[in-house]
């Protein structure tokens, strides 16, 4: 009985490792998709100092506030 319990635990741990690897791969794909969208928007073409300033503004104001202001000015 102990062997079957140990085997079951080993199988569960193997499934957890596979799931963890899938989650990590998914996070990587999401990150790549986000970078692609930023690139398509032209933000990666900005000089680094301007991009840094923009990111500081987003960090200071928060994403919601930046979105609100952009929508109001559009």
- pLDDT, tens digit, for every residue of 20-42? 999 999 999 999 999 999 999 99
pLDDT at 69 over 90: yes
46: left (phi over 0), alpha (psi -120 to 50) or beta: beta
Q: Say what the pTM is.
A: 0.70
* Cα radius of gyration rounded to whole Å, the chain: 22
Domain layout of the chain by residue ranges = 1-41, 47-74
pLDDT at 1 over 90: no
User: Which residue has better confidence, 1 or 4?
Assistant: 4
pLDDT at 74 over 90: no
Mean pLDDT of the chain: 94
């Amino acid at each position: 009985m102990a062997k079957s319990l140990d085997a079951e635990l080993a199988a569960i741990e193997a499934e957890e490792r596979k799931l963890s690897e899938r989650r990590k791969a998914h996070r990587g794909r999401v990150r790549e998709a986000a970078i692609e969208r930023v690139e398509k928007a032209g933000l990666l073409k900005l000089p680094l100092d301007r991009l840094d300033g923009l990111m500081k503004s987003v960090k200071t104001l928060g994403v919601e506030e930046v979105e609100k202001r952009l929508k109001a000015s559009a």
